């Protein structure tokens, strides 16, 4: 009993709350943008918690970051320049830098304090990626940064928090923003997006993000993996003007991984790739039925 008296109440919806026992509160504070906790939970170990929601846990962050980064990187024949929007913990950067093809990785996160907290308390996430000579780190609004840059990127990774009303990210999920991203892609470029919950009972943001990407890119592929600490299965999207992640066979993927990566991903390989992009019928119907296109004037908000 004495061991389980502090609990994190993670409200998935008004009718569904997930309670995680808190073993230890390692850091707790508030940045300009959000409440930040680093805590050890009984359910998933060390966790980064933003505004009361588990953002990333040591038990399964690799599943998330593998799924976000590798399918897009592997789809590209030779990704040298990568742009990351968000990604404060440094783990997205870490997975990008595993690709030996990468010459430059620019990461732009609006919340410098989260990066500093992660640097200090979450070494297993970033593993010193911030100090890699290929890394260029900016603290700014990613949209503004992209508007003013002259650079073009082989891969753009949108590792943003869910679009919350009043939050810093909701204008990074719109058609206008995706057009800007499209303009900043080098020829043959690929964009990969964390796209929210992908559950039968909680799929609206995921479906809308995929549909909005389709308004800008001719090739858009939805994918999903299960990340226990997120409760719901989690959705991603991979978009491009030329390249299709589904065109690669298991063997080609495994070959590219072996040739290009400095270490094996824990959760991703050719078979995982295949598993990610196939959906059961009822989810496919949800996705196909969606007409919603997110725009700056009609943004989407997650609960």
Q: Which residues are catalytic?
A: 159
**Alpha carbon of 251 to those of 107, 248, 269, 278: distances in Å?**
31, 8, 9, 17
Q: How far is the CB of 114 from a copy of itself (least distance, A)?
A: 14
Nearer to a copy of itself, 129 or 272 (CB): 272
Q: How far is the CB of 285 from a copy of itself (least distance, A)?
A: 8
Footprint on this chain of a copy of itself (rule: CB under 8 A)? 1-11, 13-22, 24-25, 28, 34-35, 37, 41-44, 49, 51-53, 59-60, 62-63, 199-202, 225-226, 228, 231-233, 265-269, 271-272, 274-276, 278-282, 284
Q: How far is the CB of 58 from a copy of itself (least distance, A)?
A: 11
> Nearest Cα to 195, choosing from 163, 242, 227, 218?
163
| Tokens at 150, concatenated | 């002259």
**Alpha carbon of 206 to those of 149, 170, 241: distances in Å?**
28, 13, 20
Nearer to a copy of itself, 5 or 263 (CB): 5
Nearer to a copy of itself, 81 or 272 (CB): 272
Asked if 38 and 121 touch (Cβ cutoff 8 Å), the reply is yes
Q: How far is the CB of 50 from a copy of itself (least distance, A)?
A: 9
* Neighbouring-strand partners of residue 273: none
Element (H, E) at 267: none
Cβ-proximal residues to 5 (8 Å cutoff; 6+ apart), any chain: none
Nearer to a copy of itself, 11 or 140 (CB): 11
């Amino acid at each position: 009993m004495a061991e389980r008296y502090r609990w994190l109440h993670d409200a998935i919806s008004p009718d569904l709350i997930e309670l995680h026992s808190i073993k230890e509160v390692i850091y707790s504070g508030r940045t300009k943008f959000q409440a930040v906790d680093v805590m050890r939970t009984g359910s998933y170990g060390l966790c980064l918690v933003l505004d009361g929601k588990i953002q990333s846990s040591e038990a399964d962050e690799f599943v998330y970051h593998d799924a976000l980064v590798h399918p897009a990187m592997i789809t590209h024949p030779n990704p040298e320049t990568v742009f990351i929007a968000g990604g404060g913990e440094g783990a997205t950067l870490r997975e990008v830098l595993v690709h030996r093809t990468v010459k430059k990785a620019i990461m732009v996160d609006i919340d410098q304090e989260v990066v500093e907290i992660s640097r200090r308390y979450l070494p297993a996430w970033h593993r010193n990626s911030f100090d890699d000579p290929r890394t260029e780190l900016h603290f700014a609004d990613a949209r503004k940064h992209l508007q003013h840059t002259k650079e073009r990127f082989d891969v753009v990774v949108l590792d943003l928090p869910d679009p919350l009303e009043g939050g810093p990210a909701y204008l990074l999920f719109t058609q206008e923003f995706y057009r800007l991203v499209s303009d900043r892609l080098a020829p043959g470029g690929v964009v990969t997006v964390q796209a929210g919950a992908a559950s039968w009972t909680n799929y609206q943001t995921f479906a809308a993000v995929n549909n909005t990407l389709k308004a800008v890119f001719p090739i858009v592929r939805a994918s999903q993996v299960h990340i226990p600490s997120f409760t719901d299965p989690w959705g991603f999207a991979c978009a491009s003007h030329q390249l299709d992640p589904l065109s690669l066979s298991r063997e080609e993927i495994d070959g590219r991984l072996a040739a290009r990566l400095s270490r094996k991903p824990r959760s991703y390989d050719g078979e995982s790739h295949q598993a990610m992009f196939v959906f059961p019928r009822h989810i496919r119907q949800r996705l196909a039925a969606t007409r919603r296109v997110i725009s700056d004037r009609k943004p989407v908000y997650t609960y």
